Amino acid sequence: MELKNKKIETQLSHDNCKKYEGAVVPPIFQNSLFSFEDWEAVDRAFENPDKSFIYSRGKNPTVSIVEEKLAMLAGAEKAQLFPSGMAAISAAIMYCVNSGDHVISLKNLYGPSSNFLTNYLKPKFNVDTTFVQGNSIEDFEKAIKPNTSMIYLESPSTAVFSLQDIEAVSKLAKSKGIKTIIDNTWATPLYQKPLAMGIDIEIHSCSKYLGGHSDIVGGVLMGKAEIIDSIFKREYAWLGAKIAPIEAWLLLRSLRTLAVRMERHQYNALTVAEFLENHPKIKFVRFPGLKSFPQYDLGKKQMTGYSSLMSFQLNTDDIKKVKIFFNSLQLFHKGVSWGGFESMVYAPAIAYIKELNEKQFENMGISMSDIRISVGLENTDDLIDDLEFALNKI
Ligand SMILES: *Cc1c(COP(=O)(O)O)cnc(C)c1O
């Protein structure tokens, strides 16, 4: 049976059992090295390191099974797993840029990605980054310099959920010979297909929805074979950040339920967002699935669904009240990260209050009364009760 011709839910659910004695779940190949019949066999493996199992810092069968599944899901020729989203992101960026190059990215980029560009590549390799708003194609056009080698996107961004017109940006980049990367973690490869829109490298933190059970940290890069093979031979092999077979295996477990989980995440998030939007103690909600979202039409054009991370502003400037709201939530776990089965709440002010002044806060498009929630798979009645309870405390 050819899985390739089946619908995506079917492809995600099934593995080739015949290969593994009929086991419906493939085994974990927990070995560091592989042995060979003879000199010639070793020689053949060395000739094709990206297709051969030699040593688990390179290819590992468990990892390869998951990479093939992810590539299928994203419509990519190839995928490369990494031990974290940041390992994937730094490898992808280093593939795209040389010292002295110029990069264009977003003001509201995921913090560590932004820091890698600003506080690492700039001082060490003189790679300059222009951070743009990214809501219009002119933002990118104006920022292009003769030495621009990469445009790095995140749509929707996970700070303020702003979108970029992916097709327009990739077209512009292609016309100038600029490589494009997108962090597609929010939408998942199920609901947004950036490679089909012309993007060169699609990145995910597998620690979010792809993992979904809050028990793995991982990352993946996807794109044309030529690009992924080059990253495998250089950034993956030489920087040596490899994913453990057990983590890859847990990710395979998670992918089987991705489609059902996302359906529920989306339903729960929309229900909660609509409740929040209509509540008098809430100024506004940022969620691309709401009709009131400023870029709703662009979202509809380039995504086929929504996930469940959103933020909102409480109708108060009093940080004491923001704290009371936060601490009054009982069902929502308090902490960072998102995309798991459990609902989470985080307040950007917890970190920024120590680093930034009010003005810098505003420049990022957020305020002291911003709350970010990741809506999990619980019953929405319970989630809304919890939010209502905390809102009544302020
Ligand atoms: C979490 C996250 C990452 C980093 O992934 P890790 O697996 O934590 O290294 C990158 N991009 C976005 C948008 C994220 O939310």
What pLDDT, on the 0 to 100 scale, is given for residue 197? 98
User: Which two tokens mark 306?
Assistant: 């929504």
What pLDDT, on the 0 to 100 scale, is given for residue 20? 84
127 in Cβ contact with 101 (< 8 Å): yes
What pLDDT, on the 0 to 100 scale, is given for residue 353? 79
Ligand 1 centre distance from Cα of residue 86 (Å): 6
Residue carrying the six token digits 């992918």: 255
Report DSSP letters for 62-89, one per residue.
HHHHHHHHHHHHHT-SEEEEESSHHHHH
Question: Distance between CA 104 and CA 233 in Å, rounded?
Answer: 26
Question: Distance between CA 189 and CA 240 in Å, rounded?
Answer: 26
Neighbours of 303 (CB within 10 A): 23
Out of 117, 154, 202, 207, give the residue to mutate to test ligand 1, the one with the largest number of ligand atoms within 8 Å of its CB.
Answer: 207
* 83 upstream amide cis, omega within 30 of 0: no
Coil vs helix vs strand at 241: coil
Q: Which residues line ligand 1 (CB under 6 A)?
A: 84-86, 110, 154, 158, 183, 185, 205, 207-208, 217, 219
Determine which residue's CA is closest to atom 7 belonging to ligand 1.
85
Q: Which domains does the chain have, with CATH numbers?
A: 8-255 (3.40.640.10), 258-392 (3.90.1150.10)
Backbone angles phi, psi at 134, to 5 degrees: 85, 5
Q: CA torsion, points 323, 325, 329, 334, in degrees to nearest 10? A: -30
What pLDDT, on the 0 to 100 scale, is given for residue 141? 98
Atom of ligand 1 at shortest range from CA of 86: 9
What pLDDT, on the 0 to 100 scale, is given for residue 176? 98
pLDDT along the chain (394 residues), means of 10: 83 82 91 96 93 93 95 97 98 98 96 96 98 97 98 95 98 98 98 98 98 98 98 95 96 97 98 98 97 97 98 94 97 96 95 77 82 98 98 96
- Digit-coded pLDDT (tens) for 354-384: 877 777 777 777 888 999 999 999 999 999 9
184 in Cβ contact with 204 (< 8 Å): yes
Question: Distance between CA 54 and CA 283 in Å, rounded?
Answer: 57
What pLDDT, on the 0 to 100 scale, is given for residue 364? 75
Residue carrying the six token digits 């069902």: 331
- Digit-coded pLDDT (tens) for 50-97: 889 999 999 999 999 999 999 999 999 999 999 999 999 999 999 999
Q: How far is residue 50 from each of residues 24, 41, 232, measured CA to CA in Å? A: 26, 15, 7
Coil vs helix vs strand at 302: helix
Backbone angles phi, psi at 138, to 5 degrees: -60, -35
